[in-house]
Structure 1
Amino acid sequence: MAEVLALIDYGAGNLHSVANALKAAGAQGVKVTSDPDVVRAADRIVLPGVGSFRACAKGLKAIPHLVESMTERVHVGGAPFLGICVGMQLLSTRGLEHGSTPGLDWIGGEVRTIERTDPAIKVPHMGWNDVAPTPHARGHEVIEPGEAYFLHSYQFVAEDPHDVEAMTDHGGGIVAAVARDNMIGVQFHPEKSQAYGLALLARFLEWKP
C-alpha cells in the first residue's frame, strides 16, 4: 500500500509544481490537503511556502486545527517532515519581515533579511547556487552537495549551529538547509532544481529518521 504524503495547502505555495515534482520523484500517494484528519494520518508531510513570512504564518494558523495536527503527527507520531522555502522558514521561532511574527518554533532561530555586505551582491538571492552540507549534518542521507535554485530575500539564522544542515554562499554564508530529528527544511526550491531537486525529494521519500 502506497504511503500517504500530505502536501499542506494553506494558500501559500506553488502546490502544483511541488506535487508534480514529488510524483516525478516516486511519490504515489500525494494528497494536497488542509484537512487536519488527513494530516494526522499521513506517513510524510511537506510544507511549501512562497511569499512573506507573515502572510504564510497567518494563512497556516488561520486553518482550524491544522498546526495542531501537524505538530501531533511530526512531534508525537514521528512522521518525516520537509519544509520548502518559506515552509522551512516557518520552522523558526519568529520571522522579522514586516515586524516580528511567531513561527512554529520547531527549530530555534529567527528569519532576518539578507544583509548586503557588498554592493555587488543582489537581494533577493535568486538563481542557482551551491548546497554544501555542514560537517555535523544530521540528515545527511537526504541533503547532498550540489546546486539548487534559490529565490529569497530573508534567511534563517539558527540558534543552535548543529541544526544547520547545509550552507550556501551569497556575499557570505547563508543557511541552505536545517534539520533536527525527523524534520528537514530547505531554503531552495527542489521542484525548480531539476535533477538535483528530484534526487533530493526521492531521498526524502525513502528517509527513515
Structure 2
Amino acid sequence: MRIAIVDYGSGNLRSVSKVVEKVAPLGTTIEVTALPENVMKADRVIFPGQGAMPDCIANLRRTGLEEAVRDAVKNKPFFAVCIGEQMLFTHSEEGDVGGLDIFKGNVVRFPSNQTDLSGARLKVPQMGWNRVSQRIPHRMWNGISDGAWFYFVHSYYVVPEDPSLIAGVTFYGKEVTVAVAKDNVFATQFHPEKSAAAGLALYANFLTWNPD
C-alpha cells in the first residue's frame, strides 16, 4: 500500500508522516511528496497543512498538484486535515479567496466578541483541546468515543451548505463543524497528529477504511 502525503509547501507534514508510520501495517510506503505523479500513483492520499488559505491555494496550483488532488478526491480514500479541509470548500473569508469547490460552502472566521457559556471572552484562534461530538456513524470513528478530545489551532472553520456532510462538531462559543465526510472523503479541522490516542486511532482507521 502506498500513502501519499501531499506537500504543497505548507507546514506540519513531517509530524503527520511520523504518526502515520506508527500505525501503518508492515510493508506500507509512506511518502511526503510534491510530485503530482506520486499522488496519482498512491493508493490513499492525506492532504494536511497549516497556514493562510490564499498562500495554500496558490502553492497548490503553482506546484501543479491541484489536478492530482482532484483526481484523488474522486477515486481513492482521501483524508484532509486543517487547512486541507478548508481548501475543499467553495470560498474562504481569509483573503477573500476561492477554494477547490469540492464541497459547497464557505470558510468563515470566528467572531472576535464570542464568549463561552459563562460569559468569558473566547480567544481567537481556538488553540488547544476540545471535545468532538460525532454527528454521523462512520468507519473513521471506529474505536473513538463520542466526545473524544482533539487538538485545535484555527481562526476559521467550514460552514457546509449541505448539512449531511457534517460528521463532527465542537462547541466554541457556538456549535462549529470540525469534521465532514462524503463517499471516499473524510476531513477534519482538528489535528489528529497532535491528538494523542484518538488521533492515532483516526489515522489507523484511515489506513484500513475501504469506502463503499
**What TM-score does the superposition give when structure 2 sets the normalisation length?**
0.90
**Counterparts of 1:16 and 1:117 in 2: how far apart (Å)?**
34
Contact 1:129 1:149 (8 Å CA) reproduced: yes
Q: Which letter maps to 2:108?
A: R
Tell me the equivalent position of 2:185. Answer: 183
Measured after TM superposition, the shift of residue 55 of structure 1 is 1.1
Aligned match for 1:24, one of 3, 6, 22: 22
Moved over 3 A (4+): none
**1:97 pairs with one of 94, 97, 100:** 94
Distance in 1 separating the partners of 2:122 and 2:203 = 30
Superposed CA deviations along residues 12-36 of structure 1, whole A, max 9, x for unmatched, are 1211100001111225311111111
Give the share of equivalent positions with the same residue, in percent.
40
Letter paired with 1:104: L
Paired residues of 1:95 and 1:103 also in contact (CA < 8 A): yes
Whole-angstrom distance in 1 between the partners of 2:160 and 2:72 = 23
Task: Give unmatched runs, 5+ long, in structure 2.
Answer: none
Q: Per the alignment, in what secondary structure is the counterpart of residue 120 of structure 1?
A: coil
Q: Which residue number in structure 2 is paired with residue 124 of structure 1?
A: 125
Partner of 2:204: 202
- Partner in structure 2 of residue 8 of structure 1: 6
Distance (whole Å) between structure 2 residues aligned to residue 51 and residue 72 of structure 1: 23
User: In the alignment, residue 91 of structure 1 is paired with which amino acid?
Assistant: L
Q: Structure 1: which 5+ residue stretches go unaligned? A: none
Q: Residue 89 of structure 1 aligns to which amino acid in structure 2?
A: Q
Q: Partner residue of 2:43?
A: 43
**Corresponding position: 1:111 with 2:84:** no
Question: How many aligned residue pairs are there?
Answer: 200
TM-score (norm 1): 0.92
**CA deviations over 1:177-202 (Å, ceiling 9, x no partner):** 01111001100001100111001100
> Given the alignment, which residue of 80, 85, 96 partners 2:77?
80
* Partner deviation per Cα, 1:23-67 (whole Å, 9 max, x = no partner): 112253111111111111110000111111111111111112x11
Q: Quick one: which amino acid aligns to residue 38 of structure 2? A: V
